[in-house]
Structure 1
Amino acid sequence: MAEERDILNAMEQNVKTNSLNAWILAARPKTLTGASVPVMIGAAMAYVDGGGWSAFQWLPALLCFLFAFVMQIDANFVNDYFDCLKGNDDSDTRLGPRRACSEGWITLSAMRKGLVITTLLACIIGLPLVYYGGWEMIIVGVLCVAFCFLYTTKLSYLGLGDVLVLVFFGTVPVCLTYYVVMPKALQGITWQVVVASIACGLVIDTLLVVNNYRDRDNDKLVGKNTLIVRIGEKRAEQLYAVLGLLACSLMWGIFIFSDTDKPQLSICLLFFYFQLHITTANKMKKIKQGKALNKVLGLTARNMFVFGLLTTVGILILNR
């Protein structure tokens, strides 16, 4: 993580306007873990329920990964562009990582073109999923694109960001991936998949919670009434800790009620994530405010990926 941070810091020291370097920074590579985790979990559950490698459909799984990555980049571009227009990324007051448009790394006109390209690319990648999941996939894709824009421009100011994370980083990608990767004769959504999708959304929401916790004072000044602004500092700290506990509890429930006689190893794996999560929660509570919370943001992104990896392994172990 320190090595990656050093590389990004070096990149930021010499950024030419609209260069490849600038676009890489605008894409925010660290956030891609949030896009990969739900697809990993959905694909693992499809592998177990669909009959193993012999029936596993690699192409729709790959398309789901690519769609998730491009949509995450698209969301980052949307956030960068519209927050710059609204003046929310003032370098004098901003506590989070530097943003491409506000720093002048990418011009607003170039970012508009970038938004069009990434949105179209996401649609092109997602369109073949119609073959695997039916025409309903078009509706899902349109909703993903629409709420990608609505989140930054409207809904985050109303405190609805956490709900969108639960839906579009939990329920939708996990259930969609599971559905399209399953053999057609077995397509459907089980209660285990729904529960796992909720757990996934809760874990990914920890990233939004710590992000909004860091920005709570600035958000309040500009009228951005996030959930954290509404509930306050202390409850935000409690919420962060509880989200990880709830996510683990849901997955433990799936493991306990699985068909296997020995779910113990799968259950134990998530204790490692939970320990990391509680340690990070305590660090967040100790730091309280300021740019130092960006360290907690990085640790939370790491924890998310660990959760996704350990959950995926735990699911696969159940099918041994």
Structure 2
Amino acid sequence: MSTETSQADISRREAWVIAARPQTLPAALAPVLVGTGLAVRDGVFAPLPALVALVGAALIQIGTNFANDYYDAAKGADTADREGFTRVTAGGLIEPAEVKRAMWLTFLAAIVVGAYLVAVAGLPIMIVGLVSVAMGVAYTGGPYPLAYHGLGDVFVFLFFGVVAVTGTYYVQAAAEAGVAFFTLVPGPELVPLAALVASLPVAAISTNILVVNNLRDREEDAETGKNTLTVRFGYGFSRAQFVLLLGTAYTVPVVFWLATGDLTTLLPLVTLPLAVAVARTVLTETAGEVLNPALERTGKLLAAFAALFAVGLAI
């Protein structure tokens, strides 16, 4: 194991925490914060649906992490030369069957929790929830694993950004307005254009977490047949992608300010120094010992940006 901690030093409880990868939870929290901040601004804030949306998002994130741990090991993508954080299946810390079972149980818990949101917001949330769970498995599992064909970035952008933010807003607006269960296409009062635009920074920075991960793992991924965009198009492409996504994220608060005249929507710009520092690392480094901290700082950037954007929208 080329990991920071040897197997002998890790207890079973610690191994499950490692498998759940709590450092990735900002990707689940961020869209709920932004969707809720916009809901407060528009007077449709509903605390219980917002809380349940957060729990459901966290469960889908953890379930996806279990799936990645299990399927990457099964496909041989996690090797002894891995530069990333500990993987429990490939490292022999937890039996593969147990990790796979934990994956399905976590996704089942997400579906059970989501049943409340379906009752509140109807068929659209049922469809979104089930597709999100399916995509969580399909990210590294199934006959056409998305991450192995350069589609992981699209998955993260859509499901941990656009869908998560607009879905969070929708369940609150639907709870306040009341919608028929079989409403298939929500109207603009339930999913306004502002929610779609507000989702773009979360989508962009969440995707950048994956970009840093793929830059770090490029050599190993190329050897094991995991054809991420970095493997397909090289370091230069992914670095340009990182900068473009970062630029998109910081453009959106300015767009909101110009559209509303609300200076508070510019609060996320406070995080620019952190963004520049991470970008400098991404643009110049390839080693895992440098990109691992950059990966964590990108997660912190996402959390800070989302929290400030949510506050700025709400007030």
Whether TM-score is above 0.5 comes out as yes
Query: What CA distance in whole angstroms lies between the structure 1 residues aligned with 2:304 and 2:19?
Result: 24
Deviates more, 1:226-235 or 1:126-135: 226-235
Q: Sort the Cα spacing of 1:20 and 1:84 in 2 relative to 1 into closer, same or farther, 3 A.
A: same
Deviations 1:188-207 (A, max 9, x none): 11111111112210111110
Mapping for residues 176-255 of structure 1, pairs under 5 Å: 176-182=167-173, 183-184=176-177, 187-255=189-257
**Residue by residue, what CA displacement relative to the aligned partner does 1:188-240 show, whole Å, maximum 9, x if unpaired?**
11111111112210111110000001111111122222112222112222221
Q: Give distance in 2, aligned partners of 1:238 and 1:113.
A: 38
Structure 2 CA distance for partners of 1:11 and 1:157, relative to 1, 3 Å: closer
2:121 is equivalent to residue 133 of structure 1: yes
**Aligned-pair distance for 1:12?**
6.7
- CA distance in 1 between counterparts of 2:36 and 2:218 reads 36
d(CA) in 2 for partners of 1:196 and 1:121? 28
- Does the Cα contact within 8 Å between 2:209 and 2:295 map onto a contact in 1? yes
* Count of residue correspondences: 299
How far the C-alpha of 1:289 sits from its partner, in A, is: 2.7
Match of 1:14 in 2: 9
Contact 2:21 2:62 (C-alpha < 8 Å) held by counterparts: yes
Alpha-carbon distance between aligned partners in 1 of 2:100 and 2:135, rounded to the nearest angstrom: 17
The partner residue of 1:71 within 35, 44, 60 is 60
Check 1:264–1:13 CA distance in 2 against 1; reply closer, same or farther (3 A cut): farther
Q: What is aligned with 1:82?
A: 71
1:103/1:250 Cα in 2 relative to 1: closer, same or farther (>3 Å)? Answer: same
Distance 1:82 1:242, change over 3 A: same
Hey, what does 1:3 align to over in structure 2?
none
Whether 2:47 is the aligned partner of 1:49: answer no
Structure 2: tracts of 5 or more residues without a match = 179-187
SS at match of 1:291: helix
Q: Which residue of 2 aligns with 1:277?
A: 275
**Deviation of residue 150 (structure 1)?**
0.8
Equivalent of 1:58 in 41, 47, 52 = 47
Q: Distance in 2 between matches of 1:238 and 1:247?
A: 14
- CA distance in structure 2 between the aligned counterparts of 1:59 and 1:10, rounded to whole angstroms: 39
**What secondary structure, in the 3-state scheme, does the structure 1 residue paired with 2:89 have?**
helix
Deviates further, 222-231 or 38-47: 222-231
Distance 1:244 1:172 in 2: 19
**Identity among equivalent pairs (%):** 34
TM-score by length of 2: 0.90
User: Which of 19, 23, 35 lines up with 2:16 in the alignment?
Assistant: 23
Runs of at least 4 residues of structure 1 off by over 6 A?
8-12
Give the Cα–Cα distance (whole angstroms) in 1 for the partners of residues 240 and 277 of structure 2: 13
Q: Deviations over 1:242-301 (max 9, x none)?
A: 21111110232022202xx4x23432x222222211211102223233332101111111
Cα pair 2:30 2:307 within 8 Å, conserved: yes
TM-score by length of 1: 0.88
In structure 2, the CA distance between the partners of 1:23 and 1:46, relative to structure 1 (3 Å rule), is same
- Contact 1:195 1:251 (8 Å CA) reproduced: no
- Residue 39 of structure 1 is aligned with which of 21, 28, 32? 32
**Matches of 1:133 and 1:13 in 2, distance apart?**
48
- Alignment partner of 1:100: what SS? coil
User: Post-superposition shift, 1:13?
Assistant: 5.7
Kept in 1, the 8 Å contact 2:151–2:228? The answer is: yes
Out of 130, 135, 156, which is 1:147 matched to? 135
Unaligned runs of 5+ in 1: 1-7
Q: Which residue of 2 aligns with 1:98?
A: 86
Q: Do 2:149 and 2:228's aligned partners in 1 also have CA atoms closer than 8 Å?
A: yes
Cα distance in 2 for partners of 1:63, 1:231 equals: 39
* Kept after mapping to 2: 8 A contact 1:245/1:274: no
- Aligned-partner Cα distance in 2 for 1:316–1:220: 45
- The code of the aligned residue for 1:179 comes to Y
Q: What is the rounded CA distance, in whole Å, between the counterparts of 2:54 and 2:189 in structure 1?
A: 19
**How far has the Cα of 1:124 moved from its partner?**
0.4
Kept in 1: contact 2:7–2:91 (CA 8 A):
no
Hey, what's the Cα distance between the residues in 2 that align with 1:227 and 1:155?
Answer: 11
Is the partner of 2:167 in helix, strand or coil? helix
Shift of 1:10: 7.5
- CA–CA distance in 2 between the matches of 1:216 and 1:9? 19
Q: Are 1:81 and 1:108, in contact at CA under 8 Å, matched by a contact in 2?
A: yes
Q: Letter of the aligned partner of 2:210 in structure 1?
A: L
